[in-house]
Amino acid sequence: MELFHQKTQIDFVGNRHKLFAVSGALVAVSLASILFKGFNYGIEFMGGSVIQLTYSTPQSIEQMRSDLAEAGKSEVGVQQFTGTETFSLRMKAEGEGSAQATDELIAALERARPESKFRVDKKDFVGPAVGKHLYRQALLAILLSLAGIVVYVAFRFSNLIWGLAGITALGHDVIVLLGLYSLLGSEMNLVLVAAVLTLAGYSINDTIVIFDRMREKMRLMRKEPLERIINESVNETLSRTFITAFTVFMAVMSLWLVGGSIIRDFAMGMTFGTLIGCYSTIAVASPLVFVFNARPSSAPALAPSGKPEPARTPGNGPTQQRERKRKRN
């Protein structure tokens, strides 16, 4: 299926300065928010407690939040398991105060509406030391995934520069997504870390598809300028890139809208991340190959049959071969 019935001829390389300016603005805003506003770290990284409650009568999440506000606990995060009367309460607390704060929260809910009975299914505590360990592990997971992608792309295309172009675009996606989380004040937890890693895998997949097309064209169009090869490669895969992004976008958008509060932050990150990744694939990664001038010189030319074209030596071209054959006859 083709999204564009006519072949597009967009000059991505020629307009790279405008595209880079847009990316630079997004990265600058994201970094400013990360540095000056910071993240709203969840209990996985800061320490705290998670309480799971199940009510015996129907209870809405809005009523639960109202009860918490009346009890002076409006900072407590509330999530409801879809289709049930079970709620998950997340409360940040440090040190030994976590257990005491948890007991106070349960008592406050019992006083808010005595007629609404509930049972405590479980109480989990995360200490500050564990939170710091999880933070370091999450950061290490992101860095190792990015490093692994660089190694894979460099090995796949036998060119480290191509790997650097891909990882630069990927770093762009990660920074912009983290900046979005910072601007919106979303709770930074392990779910959002999973969203970042998922985005990294999705984004580099589209980049590799375009890089593959560029490599094929470099063999077929050895005498053509690199700018034309990149532009044709991106335009020929543009329909595929948009269709893939659209299908993923619709899936994660559905999760964001109707998936419930448990998965909402993950779906939100993937929704915006899909758009960011689609943009960086065509507007950042491919033009960067031109900027880095990473055309491999060892790629063999391909004949129209798809087989490597034999190297021509002086005096061994088609005209010379026909002349020698005529003299023998």
Q: Around Cβ 173, how many Cβ atoms within 10 Å?
A: 28
What is the per-residue burial (b if ≥16 Cβ within 10 Å, else e) of 119-147?
A: eeeebebbeeeebeebbeebeeeeeebbe
Which domains occur in the chain, in start order? 16-40+131-292 (1.20.1640.10), 48-126 (3.30.70.3400)
- Percentage of residues in the chain having pLDDT higher than 90: 10
β-sheet with 86-92: strand ranges across: 77-80, 86-92, 48-55, 118-126
Pick 253 or 79 by higher pLDDT: 253
Residue range 189-234, pLDDT digits in tens: 888 888 888 888 888 888 888 888 888 888 888 888 888 888 898 9
The residue behind tokens 């762009």 is 172
What is the per-residue burial (b if ≥16 Cβ within 10 Å, else e) of 83-94?
A: eebbbbbbbbbe
- The answer on pLDDT for 254 being more than 60 is yes
Token duo for residue 74: 């409006």
- Range scoring the smallest mean pLDDT among 93-97, 170-174, 268-272: 93-97
Pick 36 or 315 by higher pLDDT: 36
Residue range 292-315, pLDDT digits in tens: 874 444 443 333 333 444 444 444
Q: Which of 197, 189, 231 is nearest to 214 (CA)?
A: 231
- β partners of residue 302: 308
308 in Cβ contact with 301 (< 8 Å): yes
- The answer on pLDDT for 180 being more than 80 is yes
- Range scoring the smallest mean pLDDT among 55-59, 156-160, 214-218, 245-249: 156-160
Q: DSSP string covering 88-141, please?
A: EEEEE--TTHHHHHHHHHHHHHHHH-TTS-EEEEEEEEE-HHHHHHHHHHHHHH
The single-letter DSSP state of residue 307 is S
Query: Given CA atoms 41, 189, 279, 141 in this order, what sign does their dihedral have?
Result: positive
Where does 93-141 show beta strands of DSSP type E?
Answer: 118-126
Q: What is the dihedral of CA 313, 315, 317, 323, to 10 degrees?
A: -160
- Range scoring the smallest mean pLDDT among 31-40, 50-59, 123-132: 123-132
Query: What is the model's pLDDT at position 28?
Result: 95
